[in-house]
Structure 1
Amino acid sequence: MFETDGVPVQDTWCDYMFGDGHRVTHGRLYSPRYPSTYPTNVRCNYHFHAGQHERIKLIFEEAFLQKGDESCLNRADIIKVFDGRTPSAPVLAMLCNELVGYEILSTGPDLLVQFTANSNEPGQGFKANFQFQSDDYNTSTASTVEILDSEVNKKSGPDSTLGLGPAVSAATSSCHQAVNSDKGRTGKLLSPSYPEPYPPKTHCHYDFTARGRQRVRLIFEDFALHKIDDNHLDCESMDSLDIFLYVDGRLEKMASYCGSEAPKPIMSNGPKLSIEFRGIYSSKLSRGFKISYFFVEDYGIKSGKQLMEFPCAFVYNSSLAGKGEITSPNYPGLYPRDSECNYFFYGTKVQKVHLHFTYFDIEGVFPCEAVSASDYVQFSHEMVNYKSDRYCGQLKELHVTSEKNFLRVTFKSNDRLDGTGFRAEYKFLRDVDVQLIQTVTASSASKYRYCPTI
């Protein structure tokens, strides 16, 4: 019943091949002995080789490795997904702990899934399904057509496709757009008739699909929806724009926006994001919205050097920059759900790194553990460390000094609530300079919730 649909690789215990000369275009894969506990001290490789003009869609329906919400860097049981044939390819995902409904879309015809189990307490394992898709799959299934901007701007009315950009669906009576990163990495999304008022009874859907390491990022340049009066605070009864994410394999509303206050930037938690616009009333002051969208791989983090061997990781070396700043993903907007980002600091032998957090808003309650469904930031002077303290909540300021010349900062969010993240200034300092900073911060420590040296 639980048999992997690939071809076993000769002289291996649990490696499988999918595709190449074996034209299986869809199927299932499992960890060894699933649904029973998988063995320890194993490494299984699942090789996917689609056709020249095909991509691979992979969905982990369930993965139960180890309980808790530890960083995947601290886990001995882990699933890595590489965007290519070998482990030298960019890493699309590092999966650990427990998850449901996690989707991955390759950028090309090859994908490698590597399952490593080295813990003393192995879990149930995983089950997943895959599908080989043609390059034009998203376009054909969305029934999209190309519409020139000059033609778009001639249209009007609630059923028009006005202002929708390069890929607009003609499949529904209401405006609808399916945007995928194959057509371009950036673009504009305009409400019907923008900047003129949108027609009453407008109902629009916008579906975004990214590939590989990409996330969808939305930046609101203009936002003015009809507001009934100041007594109506619920967006459900007014013209509104709703953001939907895929959580545990299901479409779930992340937020609703109405009125005239522009939302902060939004980032998807995976390859897909959807928008629903309901313009029930409209008025002469209802310009609608103008949104810039981006398919990004850097999570909106503009400092450091991004590493390809992790889904979201950045390195800061004192030989390249003695000081700078780091931010959470998508800062100053809401950070994405179900995400882990690591920041690695490397100084010389006589240096330490000092971090001064000038903004800190991480959803959760101290001690920031899984039982309270808390997101967290964690600091460690070793690459793997299970015992470091976690930090969450809203802090006025936070000072952190490394114990050695290396510091790892881990940000981890779950699929529940959202925060606006953090901003911190970093400096690489000699011991004498570190002692001076610690003296200053200790003298005013009553202002801070935390002031650790790790």
Structure 2
Amino acid sequence: MEIRFLLELLLPFLFASGVAVNPGCECLLFTSTFGKEFGVFSSPDYPRPYPSDVDCLLYSFVGGSHDIVHITFVDFDVQKTHLDCSLGDRVEVFLSLGGQLRADVNDRTPPAGVLCGGLRDVPAALYSQGPALVLAMHAAGPPSNSSGFLGRFRFLDRRSFRSDGRRVLGTECDQLFSSGDGPRNGRFFSPRYPSSYPSNTTCKYYFRAREKERIRLVFEEVSLQKRDAR
């Protein structure tokens, strides 16, 4: 029932197509949810098996200057022929396209990740680092009965994820939270949250209380790679 409802929502977006930056790719452009909580997208012919000759199909999501793109998959079934999804049928994910209000990708743009397999093999959610996010679908493996994917997208205001502290001068990302500088409570985020944080980066968070005050920290979400959890 839910899938039928999503497919009905999908129809307005299938016709919002544009010209791909890479001349060898076809492109679908998504710039609005038209007042709905989320928009939807799907692989060709979903829920029937997708064609085996999809050389390159771009799904380009572009929001406003203060937006980030949030994507979740309701269903995902892309034939897996290699453990790392580097060859065969796959969906390449481009999360870091800078602050540009367009989805410029080409053969030299490195993907943030490559997806294949089933729903359990893909992240629960994807977030762009700027106002644009691109998915590139390739069907280069042997024909299969895989149904492809069905997903949801929405645009979020990135200003909702700003820390309430002050950046420490002379540092890249250190934050200072002082009881005497503002409100007595607030929020703090890792760099680029809710998108993936940058590698090879050390950020320190300083919390300074007044005399006879205590500091209380509550982590609402923690997701670190094992080598980063110290």
- 1:127 aligned to 2:143? no
CA deviation string 1:239-289 (max 9, x = no partner): xxxxx54xxxxxxxxxxxxxxxxxxxx526xxxxxxxxxxxxxxxxxxxxx
Which residue matches 1:49? 62
2:50 to 26, 34, 38: 38
What SS does the corresponding residue of 1:17 show, helix, strand or coil? Answer: strand
What SS does the corresponding residue of 2:143 show, helix, strand or coil? Answer: coil
- 1:97 aligned to 2:97? no
What SS does the corresponding residue of 2:164 show, helix, strand or coil? Answer: strand
Offset at 1:10? Answer: 6.5
- Pair 1:178–1:168, CA change in 2 (3 A): farther
- 1:188 aligned to 2:214? no
CA contact (8 A) 2:89 2:116 kept: yes
Q: CA RMSD in A?
A: 4.1
1:205 to 218, 224, 228: 218
Q: Which has the larger radius of gyration?
A: 1
Matches of 2:136 and 2:176 in 1, distance apart? Answer: 45
1:146 to 165, 172, 175: 165
- 1:9 aligned to 2:24? no
Offset at 1:31? Answer: 0.6
CA contact (8 A) 2:165 2:188 kept: no
Matches of 2:182 and 2:143 in 1, distance apart? Answer: 49
1:170 to 185, 189, 192: 185
- Pair 1:169–1:81, CA change in 2 (3 A): farther
Q: Which amino acid aligns with 1:178?
A: F
TM-score, normalised to structure 1, is 0.34
1:255-404 matches, cutoff 5 A = 267=225, 330=227
What SS does the corresponding residue of 2:105 show, helix, strand or coil? Answer: coil
CA contact (8 A) 2:176 2:206 kept: no
1:77 to 79, 89, 95: 89
Matches of 1:59 and 1:167 in 2, distance apart? Answer: 36
Matches of 2:68 and 2:44 in 1, distance apart? Answer: 26
CA deviation string 1:287-346 (max 9, x = no partner): xxxxxxxxxxxxxxxxxxxxxxxxxxxxxxxxxxxxxxxxxxx38x79xxxxxxxxxxxx
Which residue matches 2:40? 28
Offset at 1:80? Answer: 0.8
CA contact (8 A) 1:167 1:178 kept: no
Matches of 1:136 and 1:55 in 2, distance apart? Answer: 10
- Pair 1:137–1:167, CA change in 2 (3 A): farther
Which residue matches 1:137? 160
What SS does the corresponding residue of 1:137 show, helix, strand or coil? Answer: helix
Matches of 1:96 and 1:169 in 2, distance apart? Answer: 46
Q: Which amino acid aligns with 2:154?
A: Q
Runs of 4+ more than 3 Å apart: 10-15, 22-26, 144-152, 166-169, 182-186, 189-193
Question: Counting strand residues as a fraction of each chain, which structure ranks higher?
Answer: 1
CA contact (8 A) 1:138 1:180 kept: no
TM-score, normalised to structure 2, is 0.62
CA contact (8 A) 1:80 1:114 kept: yes
CA contact (8 A) 1:167 1:179 kept: no
Unaligned runs of 5+ in 1: 155-165, 172-176, 194-198, 209-243, 246-265, 269-329, 335-454
Equivalent residue pairs, number: 187
Offset at 1:15? Answer: 3.5
Quick one: percent identity of the two aligned structures? 19
